[in-house]
Amino acid sequence: MEGLAGLASPIAIGLLLGGLYVVIALGLSLVFGVVKVINVAHGDIVVLGSYFAWVLLTNLGVDPMLTVLVGAPVFFGLGILVERFLLHRAIKKSADAALIVAFGLSLIIQNAIQWKWTPYSRQLGTSYMLESFAIGGLRIPLVYVLDFAAALVVMVVMHQFLKRTYLGQAITAASQDRQTAELMGINPARVYAIAFGIAMALAAIAGVFLGMTFPFTPTFGPSVLIIAFGVVILGGLGNMVGTFLGGMIFGLSQTLGGHFLGPTGQQLVPFAMVLVVLTIRPQGLFGR
């Protein structure tokens, strides 16, 4: 009974943390699904989002939750510019070219951040961050609840956007058959730019919540990217439910791994799971 009761906390935290991982993964999934590019700069863009929030917090006292509302549109605009003027030409050349450009972006972002804001670790700390709920004998820090709530909100909004708007359906169509989408009157270049913009907006949102949950440094990006990869591999590409479940499983395997095997387990178990899934069901547990 003792061991089992002790499980409630890691399970709860694992699920809630999974929410953060879902938001992180959604941007990567979107770009890969639509533009067919593995955006290896994705993790760094998330961290850039964390720094964006940090700058607004320390210089202007803007609450990170408000920064989400500012950061998303700003990053959306940036994403459109980056896609249109940088990525698009690379994509036209080849998939490899796009990968290299993304990699270059990753390096530029990491070093720019280091140069401007030093390599010291930062965190988005506000007073309410330290609050925690008592639910059924467990103490749950508010931050984790916010992470999960963010995941739900983002998912609902994305789902409605993709299913109910012409633009959302255009993005979906272009990702399934680009040439036929053109025959429908859909401009693929425009769709790609918008999809990338949305992905960067998602990264900005993920960055804010990441920054509230964990301390971050300029070189944290690749670790974030790996989490995103893990979630996408576990859950499969192509549907949001899959990504959601992938996030939950990833988060759970982290916390339960840590609970049973200590800090090494925390790192090891999630990626052991990813390897297992890659072996027995490469399209992901819920992928097409």
Four-residue CA torsion sign, 173, 26, 248, 143: negative
Count of residues of this chain found to bind other proteins when the rule CB under 8 A is applied: 19
**Residue 281 token pair:** 């069901």
Instruction: Output 1 or 164, the one with its CB closest to other proteins.
Output: 164
Min dist CB 246 to other proteins, Å, is 18
Min dist CB 171 to other proteins, Å, is 11
Q: Using the rule CB under 8 A, is 241 a contact of other proteins?
A: no
Four-residue CA torsion sign, 281, 284, 287, 288: negative
Please identify, among the stretches 6-14, 95-103, 112-120, 180-188, the one whose residues bind other proteins according to the rule CB under 8 A: 180-188
Q: Using the rule CB under 8 A, is 170 a contact of other proteins?
A: yes
Instruction: Output 14 or 236, the one with its CB closest to other proteins.
Output: 236
Q: Using the rule CB under 8 A, is 237 a contact of other proteins?
A: no
Min dist CB 146 to other proteins, Å, is 33
By CB under 8 A, name the one of 65, 145, 158, 173 that touches other proteins: 173
Give every CB contact of residue 204 below 8 A, 6+ residues apart in sequence.
45, 46, 48, 49, 52, 68, 71, 72, 74, 75
Q: Using the rule CB under 8 A, is 238 a contact of other proteins?
A: yes
Four-residue CA torsion sign, 264, 13, 208, 230: positive
Give every CB contact of residue 222 below 8 A, 6+ residues apart in sequence.
43, 44, 106
Binding mask 112-151 for other proteins (x = CB under 8 A): ----------------------------------------
- State the Cα–Cα distance between residues 220 and 132, nearest whole angstrom: 26
Residue 159 Cα distances to 30, 91, 112, 199, 240, angstroms: 12, 27, 34, 14, 8
Touching other proteins, residues 259-288 (CB under 8 A): 288
Residues binding other proteins (CB under 8 A): 166, 169-170, 172-173, 176-177, 179-188, 238, 288
